[in-house]
Amino acid sequence: MSELGLGNFSKEHDFLVGVDSDGCAFDSMEIKHKECFIPNFIKHMGLQPISKYAREACEFTNLYSKTRGANRFPAYLLALDLLEERDEVKRRNVTLPRLQGVRDWVERETKLGTKTIGPEAEKTGDEDLKQAYTWSKAVDDAVNEMVHGVPPFPGVQDALAKMNAQADVIVCSATPNGALQKEWKEHGIDEFVKAICGQESGSKKESLSACKEMGYDTDKMLMIGDAPGDMKAAKAVGALFFPINPGHEEESWVRFNQEALDRFFAGTYAGEYEEKLIAEFETFLPEHPPWKKG
């Protein structure tokens, strides 16, 4: 059984592997954002008059762009920014929430989650934080109620078992710890990881940095993820990165099991092989939304 966070974590192997959860280990990104995050965002942010465009903006920032997989607060603030610039929205004379209080909070806080924004809203009395907390709590409740029986991608359990033989494995995610624990336990794969580092543990970079301080060589640290933010976190601490390509997750896990993991353990992953994988990965997600010209 894995522990939440790194509190009881100790280095046992020379190798460390961090695995993202939503969209990487589990095919859960679509159901969570389309059924839980976005409907509640439209409801709690008063976006009903422009629901079509709000949905498009939120899907773009959270699923179909280079900000895929980012923490909910900056990703949904970015969706509001895209809406503010869009001509169709301007013509409808809708007043969009600016949420300046949330923007300021995102700048000063690293543990961005429901459990941190709630007390901050209470302490400061900031209406923007209260509004965002209400939305975030509604999302967590919806995920808890809605997301059941979503299995890991084929190949994930085999990969975890194979990794376990030579590496310390952790979940490294922006999802709340409670949801991670529930999902990994539901499918019997929590036994393969030594720690679950979710939203409450800080950013992915912070979790990987904490592991690095335990004595792992950076060429023996690997982050597996489906989003540019996962790659950025890995590179920030000097670790290697294996991409799970959005829309081609099953093929990615086959590649990992058949060649990439063996290369990682053999010390032949870094360099040309990793660069080729990353170059391919970067072709899958656009930077600009399709409705933006130029």
Provide the β-strand partners of residue 224: 19, 242
| Domains defined for the chain, CATH in brackets | 3-28+152-281 (3.40.50.1000), 29-146 (no CATH)
Tally of CA atoms within 13 A in the half-sphere of 212 that contains its CB:
19
Mean pLDDT to the nearest integer, 50-66 = 97
Residue (of 115, 106, 77) closest to 199 by Cα position = 115
Residue 291 pLDDT > 90:
yes
- The 3-class secondary structure across 260-287, one letter per residue, is HHHHHHHCCCCCHHHHHHHHHHCCCCCC
Question: What average pLDDT score do residues 26-30 get?
Answer: 95
Q: Report d(CA 231, CA 11) in Å as an integer.
A: 23
Tens digit of pLDDT for each residue in 139-197? Answer: 999 999 999 999 999 999 999 999 999 999 999 998 889 989 999 999 999 999 999 99
pLDDT for residue 23: 95
pLDDT reading at 240 higher than 60: yes
Q: What CA–CA distance (Å, rounded) separates 70 from 66? A: 9
Which residue stretches of the chain are H helix?
A: 29-31, 38-44, 51-62, 72-85, 87-90, 100-108, 114-124, 127-146, 156-164, 177-186, 204-212, 228-236, 249-255, 261-266, 272-281
Taking the model in full, what pTM does it have?
0.89
pLDDT-based confidence at residue 1 (cuts at 50, 70, 90):
very low
What pLDDT band is residue 3 in, cutting at 50, 70 and 90? low
pLDDT at residue 259 tops 70:
yes
Q: Residue 231: is its pLDDT beyond 70?
A: yes
pLDDT at 272: 98
The mean pLDDT of the chain is 95
pLDDT-based confidence at 199, cuts 50/70/90?
Answer: confident
Across residues 109-131, what is the average pLDDT? Answer: 96
Flag whether pLDDT at 2 surpasses 80: no
What type of residue is 34?
K
Residue 26: DSSP 8-state: B
- The answer on pLDDT for 79 being more than 80 is yes
Cβ neighbours for 287, distance < 8 A, ≥ 6 positions apart: 65, 66
pLDDT digits (tens, 9 = 90+) for 219-229: 999 999 999 99
Reported confidence tier of residue 200, pLDDT bands at 50, 70, 90: confident
pLDDT > 70: percent of the chain: 98
